[in-house]
Structure 1
Amino acid sequence: MPYSFESKKIVVFTSRKVASASLRNMIYEVEGEDADFVEWVNSRPPEKRLVSSRFEPAGWEDYRKIALVRNPVDRFVSLYKHRVAKKTSFLRKIDPDRRKARNILAEAGLPIGPDLDTFCRELKRYCAISSDIRIHILPQKHFLGPSLDWYDDVVKLEDIDFIAQLIGHDMPHTHKTHSEQIRITPESRAIIENNCKEDIAFLAKYYPAA
């Protein structure tokens, strides 16, 4: 997903659950009403309206191109913390009518706001119900393209302040990466790593296996 700072001729490509909300807010603060969003909601930028979030290289020839990447396991856990464990948000993404969402989960025999172990065990079934989850577990390669060699810079999420320094503006941290940690059991870690195996290989240079 490309987020462009037109006044700086810098574009940051990122993925779902890799600081996309922070980048949207930063664009709004830096570019103001000139930012390339279709509409504004309550004086804040909405979700970026893109025809497709799949990587598309055309049109960025004159920009400094940055890829923002994240540890694949941490990204998965962030999806769980912010999109699943928060019950209200989780239900709303299944159906705007929370009663209907509850019924959909009940009929499937799936709990609302499952713990991480349950979510991992039932991942395929939750994905079948929630398009939001399906989108957020797409590999980073889907958003960043087949090779990171295309980029001028590859920045790890934990080094995101490098981007702020380039832009000359503080980065608004929408979700704190140092928030409460979730214990991952060996069984859940195996499921997560299997789900993220494409990203683990893709990002091995930046996040080598322990």
Structure 2
Amino acid sequence: MTVMLNEYGLGYLSVPKVACTSIKAMMFEVENGFPFRPFSANGQMRWIHSFYPSIPFHELKRGRLRDLHRITVVRDPIKRALSCHSNRVVQHRELSPEIAGDRLDGSGLPFDPDLPTFVRNIAEYSRRVAEIGHHTAPLTVFLGEDPGYFHRIYRFDELPEMVADVCRITGKAVALEVMQRSGRSAGAGQLSPDETAILKDYYAGDYAIFGAYF
């Protein structure tokens, strides 16, 4: 499950690269009364996603969400893909030889791809490297295909309104802290027409189902 605040009748379904780390940290503070900070236990680091994993919609125990006020946040898929490249590829180097290793060996795919290379091969990078696949998977993977399932879907630029609503619903005065910091993502205008077309095709289902919110 992602976040279920049963005490407050609130459920939040998360999507990677849609401020989910920050939103989960805020929800943790609502639930526990203190801010989340990563910590080590038994020699392993525990991150906010250890407590609230983003999981595919078909794996959700939706019966546990039935009586909750269900919310989510969506973002233009092209901007998600650009953010993935900036954060996961450039900053965290998840497509480097040291990390991707033999998952890319023999594939013909370059390590540490620049943005055009990444976009033109997004499907294959996502298939071969699970970390990239998780962060580039379509919205529909995490949210299903029925916007009507949610009581409220917030656009990415409506995050302040979402925070205000969470505070009102829970009676908790919390704020949204930026938890994932990386270099500035490229703008969609830096993509060629062919690259834009590739991403629009890759995320065609998202545009068809959630396009009204972009």
When normalised by structure 1's length, the TM-score is: 0.78
Shift in Å, 1:175? 3.7
From the superposition, tell whether residues 155 and 100 of structure 1 become closer, same or farther in structure 2 (CA, over 3 Å). closer
Shift in Å, 1:84? 1.7
Matches for 1:52-131 after TM superposition, within 5 Å: 52-55=55-58, 56=60, 57-86=62-91, 88-91=93-96, 99=98, 101-102=100-101, 104-131=103-130
AA matched with 1:124: A
Q: Do the aligned partners of 1:116 and 1:188 also contact (CA within 8 Å) in 2?
A: no
From the superposition, tell whether residues 14 and 45 of structure 1 become closer, same or farther in structure 2 (CA, over 3 Å). closer
Q: Give the one of 195, 201, 209 matched to 1:194.
A: 201
Structure 1 partner of 2:178? 173
Structure 1: state its 5+ residue gaps. 92-97
AA matched with 2:176: M
Q: Do the aligned partners of 1:4 and 1:27 also contact (CA within 8 Å) in 2?
A: no
Structure 1 partner of 2:161? 162
How many pairs align? Answer: 198
Deviates more, 1:1-10 or 1:152-161: 1-10
Shift in Å, 1:6? 3.8
Residue 136 (str. 1) matches residue 135 (str. 2): yes
From the superposition, tell whether residues 114 and 162 of structure 1 become closer, same or farther in structure 2 (CA, over 3 Å). same
From the superposition, tell whether residues 201 and 178 of structure 1 become closer, same or farther in structure 2 (CA, over 3 Å). farther
Whole-Å Cα distance in 1 between the matches of residues 158 and 130 of structure 2? 30
The runs of at least 4 consecutive aligned structure 1 residues that moved more than 3 Å come to 40-44, 46-52, 87-91, 98-107, 175-182
Structure 2 partner of 1:94? none
Structure 2 partner of 1:45? 48
Structure 2: state its 5+ residue gaps. 41-45, 168-173
When normalised by structure 2's length, the TM-score is: 0.77
AA matched with 1:191: I
Whole-Å Cα distance in 1 between the matches of residues 182 and 161 of structure 2? 16
Residue 204 (str. 1) matches residue 211 (str. 2): yes
Q: Do the aligned partners of 2:4 and 2:65 also contact (CA within 8 Å) in 1?
A: no
Residue 4 (str. 1) matches residue 9 (str. 2): no
RMSD between superposed Cα atoms in Å: 3.1
SS of the residue aligned with 2:39?
coil
Q: Do the aligned partners of 2:17 and 2:84 also contact (CA within 8 Å) in 1?
A: yes
Deviates more, 1:79-88 or 1:15-24: 79-88
SS of the residue aligned with 1:114?
coil
AA matched with 1:29: E
Whole-Å Cα distance in 1 between the matches of residues 157 and 207 of structure 2? 17
